[in-house]
């Protein structure tokens, strides 16, 4: 399986995301923001970082990059897409996911090992997790506070589209402790914490994040 990892100017975690894809047993295919095709990949990861310097709003300018036109079209055809941190912001700005990410309520950048509960294990990125299992991955963000109007939040919860929720501490003021959501179809997932930083014992708080990447591999083999 070939998983594309997009690099925007200012992307930070594209290399770690590619490494996680490789550790999961798939081939990571580097994609550039200026690309007009997805090079035949089976899934796409939009990594964390500060694309276009977070100018205007996080993800606002990336949304209009040529590769995103292709990602939006592929997502519409059902291709699995995972946006992590800045990638989540890009997905919201692209209207592939509802809501928006705003500055942390406490104003500070936060970096910590974060406990999460996986509340939807039906997406191609989460099938490897047991329903409601708690995992620990890295969280690092300055603008990670998930907001949406009450009706949208009720709908997300009612349709089981909250993929992950913060447990113990709400690190950024996200409404209803939401850490990650999915679209109606379930193929597009946005996640503020970083599973790609929790795939090896040497460099992370454990390997709880690896299943995001092995899940999509298993989903493709079905």
Partner 1 sequence: MARVVVDVMLKPEILDPQGKAVHGALPRLGFDGITGVRQGKRFELELDGALTSARLAEIHEIAEKLLSNPVIEDFEVHVAEVEA
Catalytic residue among 33, 85, 92, 197: 85
Taking a C-beta distance cutoff of 8 angstroms, is the pair 53, 84 a contact? no
Task: For residue 194, indicate whether it is catalytic.
Answer: yes
Q: Is 210 helix (H, G, I), strand (E, B) or coil?
A: coil
Asked if 156 is part of the footprint of partner 1 (rule: CB under 8 A), the reply reads no
Catalytic residue among 93, 119, 194, 197: 194
Asked if 12 is part of the footprint of partner 1 (rule: CB under 8 A), the reply reads no
For Cα atoms 162, 123, 138, give the angle at the middle one, nearest 5 degrees: 65
Position among 10, 32, 103, 134 found at the interface with partner 1 (CB under 8 A)? 103
Letters for 58-77 (x = contact with partner 1 by CB under 8 A, - = none) are: --x---x-------------
Please, which residues have CB within 8 angstroms of residue 105's CB and are 6 or more apart in sequence?
145, 172, 173
User: What DSSP character marks residue 51?
Assistant: G
Alpha helices in 95-194 (DSSP H): 150-158
Position among 48, 80, 99, 186 found at the interface with partner 1 (CB under 8 A)? 99
Asked if 105 is part of the footprint of partner 1 (rule: CB under 8 A), the reply reads yes
Instruction: Say how far residue 115 (Cα) sits from the centre of its chain.
Output: 16
Give 180's strand partners. Answer: 164, 191
User: What residues between 171 and 200 interact with partner 1 by CB under 8 A?
Assistant: 173
How many residues bind partner 1, per CB under 8 A?
Answer: 20
Contact positions vs partner 1 (CB under 8 A): 56-57, 60, 64, 92-93, 98-100, 102-107, 145, 147-149, 173
| Residues forming the active site | 85, 194, 196
């Amino acid at each position: 399986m070939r998983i594309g990892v997009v690099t925007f100017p200012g992307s930070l975690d594209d290399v770690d995301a590619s490494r996680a894809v490789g550790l999961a047993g798939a081939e990571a295919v580097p994609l550039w923001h200026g690309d007009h095709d997805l090079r035949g990949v089976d899934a796409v990861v939009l990594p964390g970082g500060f694309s276009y310097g977070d100018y205007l709003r996080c993800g606002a300018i990336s949304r209009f990059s040529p590769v995103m036109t292709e990602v939006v079209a592929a997502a519409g055809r059902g291709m699995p897409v995972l946006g992590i941190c800045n990638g989540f912001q890009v997905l919201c700005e692209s209207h592939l996911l509802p809501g928006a990410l705003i500055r942390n309520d406490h104003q500070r950048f936060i970096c910590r090992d974060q406990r999460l509960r996986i509340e939807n294990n039906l997406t191609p990125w989460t099938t490897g997790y047991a329903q409601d299992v708690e995992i620990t991955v890295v969280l690092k963000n300055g603008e990670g506070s998930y907001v949406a109007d009450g009706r949208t939040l009720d709908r997300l919860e009612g349709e089981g589209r909250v993929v992950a929720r913060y447990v113990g501490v709400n690190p950024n003021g996200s409404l209803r402790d939401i850490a990650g959501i999915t679209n109606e179809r379930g193929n597009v997932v946005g996640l503020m914490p970083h599973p790609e930083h929790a795939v090896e014992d040497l460099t992370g708080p454990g390997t709880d994040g690896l299943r995001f990447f092995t899940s999509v591999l298993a989903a493709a083999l079905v």
